[in-house]
């Protein structure tokens, strides 16, 4: 009986010490933040769509830290001090480069830019309301000369998180008639569930046949009243 009692006491103390050690575990103290950019300009993406990965060598359980991108291409993560490898994952609206790894040194709060090479970009976008119609004007720029456009689209939504997945209206542009570097127009009629709102959010997206994700313009708020 004494042996069993001592065993129970020893086990309880071990659990208590382990619990205290866990509670006192040091949390990551530094913030790594940044944006995915092309020519110094943030690249718009689908919220929590394209991802980056962080790797840190020298640990027995080696697994990546996934960085999810906000729709403006920004990201943030809490990390320990150390050397990391940042990897630009495939199936994004940019070309998978031969050297897709960036060395990142974290010794304090750190902000970085992650350069990428999109297949296409959209510039000079503007949105106008006329009655129940939204008219989008923009220019499509071809960055990768071998790339082909699969879709160019106008999105309207109730939420600032508007994209291919989350939207109330999607209007396809005329890909066959698309002229790179020249003004392009897409018009969309407001559906009944948007007509009576005070405002909607508008965004443009373009997708290459070589990628599963779209390059997006920043979301713009359009007053309906």
What's the token pair of residue 27? 């949390």
- Among 115, 140, 165, residue at a domain's last position: 115
**Res 214: pLDDT:** 98
Instruction: Quote the CA–CA distance of 199 and 28 in Å, as a whole number.
Output: 41
**Res 100: pLDDT:** 73
**Res 29: pLDDT:** 87
**Res 149: pLDDT:** 98
**Res 25: pLDDT:** 57
What is the CATH number for 192? 2.60.40.2060
The total of other beta-carbon atoms located within 10 Å of residue 14's CB is 10
**Res 38: pLDDT:** 96
| Residue 153 burial (C-beta neighbours within 10 Å; 0-12, 13-18, 19+) | buried
Domain that holds residue 165: 120-223
* Residues of the chain where predicted confidence (pLDDT) is lower than 70: 1-25, 58-61, 98-99
Give this prediction's pTM.
Answer: 0.84
Whether 173 and 93 map to the same domain: the answer is no
Whether 41 and 101 map to the same domain: the answer is yes
Instruction: Quote the CA–CA distance of 97 and 161 in Å, as a whole number.
Output: 29
Whether 159 and 212 map to the same domain: the answer is yes
**Res 168: pLDDT:** 97
**Res 2: pLDDT:** 43
Whether 96 and 148 map to the same domain: the answer is no
Q: Is the dihedral of CA 35, 220, 94, 50 positive or negative?
A: positive
**Res 21: pLDDT:** 47
Number of domains in the chain: 2
Let me know if residue 12 belongs to a domain.
Answer: no
């Amino acid at each position: 009986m004494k042996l069993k009692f001592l065993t129970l006491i020893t086990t309880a103390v071990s659990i208590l010490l382990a619990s205290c050690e866990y509670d006192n575990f040091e949390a990551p103290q530094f913030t790594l933040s940044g944006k995915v950019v092309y020519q110094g300009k943030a690249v718009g993406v689908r919220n929590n769509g394209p991802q980056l990965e962080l790797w840190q060598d020298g640990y027995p359980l080696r697994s990546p830290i996934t960085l999810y991108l906000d729709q403006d291409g920004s990201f943030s993560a809490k990390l320990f001090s150390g050397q990391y490898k940042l990897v630009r994952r495939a199936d994004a609206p940019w070309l998978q480069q031969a050297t897709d790894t960036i060395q990142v040194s974290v010794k304090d709060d750190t902000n970085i830019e992650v350069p990428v090479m999109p297949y296409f970009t959209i510039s000079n976008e503007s949105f106008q309301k006329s009655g129940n119609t939204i008219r989008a004007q923009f220019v499509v720029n071809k960055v990768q000369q071998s790339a082909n456009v699969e879709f160019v689209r106008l999105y309207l939504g109730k939420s600032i998180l508007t994209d291919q997945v989350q939207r109330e209206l999607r209007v396809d542009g005329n890909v066959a008639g698309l002229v790179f570097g020249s003004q392009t127009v897409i018009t969309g009629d407001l559906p009944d569930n948007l007509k009576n709102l005070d405002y909607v959010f508008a965004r443009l997206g373009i997708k290459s046949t070589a990628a599963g994700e779209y390059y997006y313009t920043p979301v713009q708020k359009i007053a309906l009243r």
